[in-house]
Structure 1
Amino acid sequence: MNWIFLLIGGLFETGFAISLGKAQHASGKEMWMWLLSFIICVSISMLLLFKAMGGENAIPVGTAYAVWGAIGAIGTVIMGIILFKEPITFWRLFFLSTLVISIVGLQIVSSNVPAE
Structure 2
Amino acid sequence: MAWVSLFIAGLLEVVWAFSMKQSEGFTRLVPSVITFITVITSFALLSFSMKSLPLGTAYMIWTGIGAVGAFAAGIFFMGEPVTLLRILAAVLIVGGLLLMKLVSA
Whether contact under 8 Å (2:26, 2:32) holds in the other structure is no
- Structure 1 residue 37 and structure 2 residue 34: aligned? yes
Unaligned stretches of 5+ in structure 2?
none
Q: What TM-score results when the alignment is normalised by the length of structure 2?
A: 0.95
TM-score norm. by structure 1 comes to: 0.86
- For residues 102 and 93 of structure 2, the distance between their equivalents in structure 1, rounded to whole angstroms, comes to 14
Aligned residue for 2:93?
Answer: 99
State the superposition RMSD in angstroms. 1.4
Structure showing greater Rg: 1
Identity over aligned residues, as a percent?
A: 32
| Among candidates 51, 56, 63, match of residue 62 of structure 1 | 56
Tell me if structure 1 keeps the 8 A contact 2:20–2:26: no
Structure 1 gap ranges (5+) = 112-116
Report which stretch shifted further, 86-95 or 18-27. Answer: 18-27
Structure 2 counterpart of 1:72: 66
Count of paired positions = 105
| 8 Å Cα contact 2:8/2:42 also seen in 1 | yes
CA shift, 1:26, in A, is 8.6
In the aligned structure 2, how far is the partner of 1:85 from the partner of 1:21?
13
Task: Name the CA shift for 1:9/1:65 in 2 (closer, same or farther; >3 Å).
Answer: same
